[in-house]
Amino acid sequence: MRWVTYADKDGPRVGLVVDDRVLGAPDDRPMVDVIAGGMEGMSELADDIRRAPGSVLELAGTKLHAPIPKPPAIRDALCFLDHMRQCLRVLGRDPELAEMWHNIPAFYFCNPSCVVGPFDDVAIAPGSSWFDLELEVGAIVGKPGRDLDPKTAGEHIVGYTFFCDWSARDLQAKDLALGIGQAKGKDAGITLGPWIVTIDELADHIVGDRIDLDIAASVNGTELTRGSTVAMDWTFGEVIAYASRGTDVVPGDVIGSGTHPGGCLLEHLDTDPAAFERWLKPGDVVSLHSDVLGRTEQLITRGADLIPLRTGH
């Protein structure tokens, strides 16, 4: 099943993508409520929609929102360790990772209010000149849990979607200088979409405890990188199990994979960051694409003017 949230005349509505059409749900329940029904409930609702859709629209002409416009929680992990190694390498640092990177999966909490749709414009973060994309996949939690076993935590995933963590690298450097984690460098936007592909569609993409999805990113039509999620060093199941220690993961929570190696401009840095000419600028078009997950396409626009906190800041 491929589930979307689309713009209906009465507001956002859940829909099922069948061939090249969007079949609307018969009521206005949000995607989180649909997901909370689990695979059984989602399958039953899909059957109902196919029999008697609330509306029938051509996919090509339908405005798609993020499939979960405001997730209960978003955690972005760093599951591809080669991404971190390459970032350290281009910044002139030792790419050898400390043992802790192999002991626990790194993640940080994202801002659900900054989620945007797969074809929405993306404004550059106020005050940023080093704006970047990140090619990621998001796992969607479908079954609640707490203190999960990593061997079975993957069973709590209901499906997958694209996840683009827009990053203001110059603001991120300021965040990291404080030593307490990510803040405004990661607050400009998170793209989800175009749809959630449920696990019943993905049997041929399971390799052991990993999901094997071919993914790619391009900027202005030029491919930046291409690869597969099978190369993740930490599995989604391991990240969800770790995230669930002492707390709940709930339906609609999104877990980002972290950046696929080569899937951000920072990894292609070949000069001082201030002189790097490939940072995203207004007018650039960024696309993520996959045979399974679909395609996003977003125009980069000028951000709001920065309002200083204090003189010079």
Give the number of C-alpha atoms closer than 13 A to the C-alpha of residue 225, restricted to the C-beta side.
18
pLDDT of residue 154: 96
Residue 312, pLDDT above cutoff 80: no
Model pLDDT for residues 179-225, shown as the tens digit of each residue? 998 999 999 999 999 999 999 999 999 999 999 999 999 999 999 99
Q: Please name the residue that has the structure tokens 């990188």.
A: 225
**CA distance linking residue 84 with residue 156, whole number of Å:** 27
Supply the pTM of this predicted model: 0.96
Closest CA to 294 of 48, 17, 77: 17
The token duo for 180 is 């307490």
User: In the 8-state DSSP scheme, what is residue 64?
Assistant: B
The share of the chain scoring above pLDDT 70, in percent, equals: 100
Q: What backbone torsions phi and psi does residue 92 show, to the nearest 5 degrees?
A: 75, 25
Are the C-beta atoms of 161 and 239 separated by less than 8 Å?
no
Question: Please, which residues bridge with residue 138 across strands?
Answer: 161, 256
Is the peptide bond preceding residue 95 cis, with omega within 30 degrees of 0?
no
Choice among 67-76, 95-104, 174-183, 227-236 with the minimum mean pLDDT = 174-183
- Name 73's Cβ contacts closer than 8 Å, sequence gap at least 6: 109, 112, 249, 250, 253, 254
Q: Please name the residue that has the structure tokens 């599995």.
A: 235
Model pLDDT for residues 216-251, shown as the tens digit of each residue? 999 999 999 999 999 999 999 999 999 999 999 999
Amino acid letter, 305: D
Residue 313, pLDDT above cutoff 80: no
Average pLDDT for 279-308: 97
pLDDT of residue 285: 98
Average pLDDT for 25-47: 96
**CA distance linking residue 297 with residue 288, whole number of Å:** 7
Map out the domains of the chain as residue ranges: 2-61, 74-301
Question: CA–CA distance from 256 to each of 32, 140, 161, 169, 259 (Å)?
Answer: 17, 9, 9, 18, 9
Reported as a pLDDT band with limits 50, 70 and 90, residue 280 is very high
Average pLDDT for 91-114: 96
Pick the CATH number of 74-301 from 3.40.50.10320, 3.90.550.10, 3.90.850.10, 3.30.1120.10: 3.90.850.10
pLDDT of residue 9: 87
